[in-house]
Amino acid sequence: NAGVTQTPKFQVLKTGQSMTLQCAQDMNHEYMSWYRQDPGMGLRLIHYSVGAGITDQGEVPNGYNVSRSTTEDFPLRLLSAAPSQTSVYFCASSSSDRIAEAFFGQGTRLTVV
């Protein structure tokens, strides 16, 4: 039972490069989210999706794009990486039940130089 799978685990980018962080879940969850975690800031919501074809912005969406073409996948795109995007990124999924717990991936540690 894989749960939520994120790739890659580590990545170093140069300023201005673009890349896609991958997230896949095998639990047939409707909700998927991307968070970034920085020291002292906690988990901050970047984008989220309530189902295939539907996405919305979270607290810190600038510089990131998402799409949700299937229930299973929710990739996060960095359009032009900046040092301020150096962070640990977590993908999470949950069912649409409001009390549902969130399941998290192992995280992607991204460094932008």
Partner 1 sequence: SQKIEQNSEALNIQEGKTATLTCNYTNYSPAYLQWYRQDPGRGPVFLLLIRENEKEKRKERLKVTFDTTLKQSLFHITASQPADSATYLCALRGGGNKLTFGTGTQLKVEL
- CA-nearest of 53, 40, 32, 1 to 100 is 32
With respect to partner 1, which residue has the nearer C-beta, 20 or 106?
Answer: 106
User: 59 or 69, CB closer to partner 1?
Assistant: 59
**Which residue has tokens 């968070």?**
35
Please state the closest distance from residue 15 (CB atom) to partner 1, in A.
Answer: 25
Q: How far is the CB of 37 from partner 1 (least distance, A)?
A: 9
Question: Interface with partner 1 by CB under 8 A: which residues?
Answer: 4, 31, 33, 35, 40-43, 45, 48, 50, 56, 58-59, 90, 92, 94, 96, 98-99, 101-107
Of 64 and 90, CB closest to partner 1 = 90
Q: How far is the CB of 83 from partner 1 (least distance, A)?
A: 22
3-class SS string, 10-70 = EEEECCCCCEEEEEEECCCCCEEEEEEEECCCEEEEEEEEEECCEEEECCCCCCEEECCCC
Query: What's the DSSP call for residue 83?
Result: G
